Amino acid sequence: MGLHMAVILVSNDDGYKAKGINTLVSSVQDLGEVYVFAPDSQRSASSHAFSLHSGIHFHRISDRVYITDGTPTDCVLFAVRGLMDKRPDIVLGGINHGGNLGEDITYSGTVAVAIEGIILGIPSIAFSYVEYEDDPDLEFSGKVARWLTGKVLEIGLPKGILLNVNIPKNPNGKIKITRLGKRIYRDSVVEKILDNGERIYTIGGEPPTWIREEGTDFDAIEKGYVSITPIHLRWTDFTMIRKLRFLEDEFKI
């Protein structure tokens, strides 16, 4: 696919005012027409949720920039299915404020942007800067996004494949193609009793760590590489299909 006048759809889960999405937009705007459909506020950890049972609002705030009270998935779904007058050549999520590594991707609204993109048959990339900072330096992250977006527009991606990209705080200037690693979560439920006696609950605990294995996204980030993980949604375990076939003959209720 050539670079001339590409149509680029950008969304995120941190909201349209976040530094990450604005860095991403400015980094790729020379590659074509950039459309932004983004949440009007923070939607982190919304995963692949979309607004099935309620209507949502979209507001045009500037040329090709729309905000919504819906989810990141809503942004892509509604944009592609009806609100854009052109079909995107590529869908970009991010740049997320915080990493999306290992099992993080199952919670991530940023990765959900790319997931919805490939479900709709559009090449998609999710970008994340791994550190949580109030005012992150995203200059290098923007350069990574510009380079990889241009490359995917040029060579394409296999159908049903998205790229999950994580950028370290102290990059060594190189990329590494990786597989998803394994998170170690140490979550706990925290109860708080309000003055009126109402009980509310949040998730607390120690920060998650990871299993150290060479070739994973965690390993690459720890060594200063930009991690690029190809991900598909073919979740079927074909080995277990063969192993469980005997149950078809034994089934009786």
Q: Can you name the residues that pair with 165 across neighbouring β-strands?
A: 127, 228
232 domain residue, yes or no:
yes
Q: Report d(CA 223, CA 221) in Å as an integer.
A: 5
Read off the pLDDT band of 1 (50, 70, 90).
Answer: very low
Average pLDDT over residues 236-240: 93
205 domain residue, yes or no:
no
198 domain residue, yes or no:
no
189 domain residue, yes or no:
no
196 domain residue, yes or no:
no
DSSP code at position 223: T
* pLDDT exceeds cutoff 80 at 204: no
Per-residue pLDDT reduced to its tens digit, 86-114: 999 999 998 999 999 999 899 999 999 99
12 domain residue, yes or no:
yes
65 domain residue, yes or no:
yes
Q: Report d(CA 66, CA 35) in Å as an integer.
A: 8
Average pLDDT over residues 116-141: 95
Q: Report d(CA 45, CA 123) in Å as an integer.
A: 22
Would you say 70 and 46 are in contact if contact means Cβ atoms under 8 Å apart? no
Would you say 13 and 43 are in contact if contact means Cβ atoms under 8 Å apart? yes
User: How far from 104 is each of 100, 107, 151, 245, CA to CA, in Å?
Assistant: 5, 6, 26, 32
Q: Centre a 10 Å sphere on the Cβ of residue 128 and count the other Cβ atoms it contains.
A: 26
Distance from chain centroid for Cα 220: 18
Enclosing domain of residue 177? 6-181+211-250
Contacts of 199 (CB under 8 A, 6+ apart): 191, 192, 193
pLDDT at 4: 62
- Residue 117: give its domain's CATH number: 3.40.1210.10
First-residue to last-residue Cα distance in the chain: 54
Structural domains counted in the chain: 1
25 domain residue, yes or no:
yes
* pLDDT exceeds cutoff 50 at 181: yes
* pLDDT exceeds cutoff 80 at 206: no
Per-residue pLDDT reduced to its tens digit, 21-50: 999 999 999 999 999 999 988 888 788 888
Q: Give phi and psi for 147, each to the nearest 5.
A: -65, -50
DSSP code at position 225: P
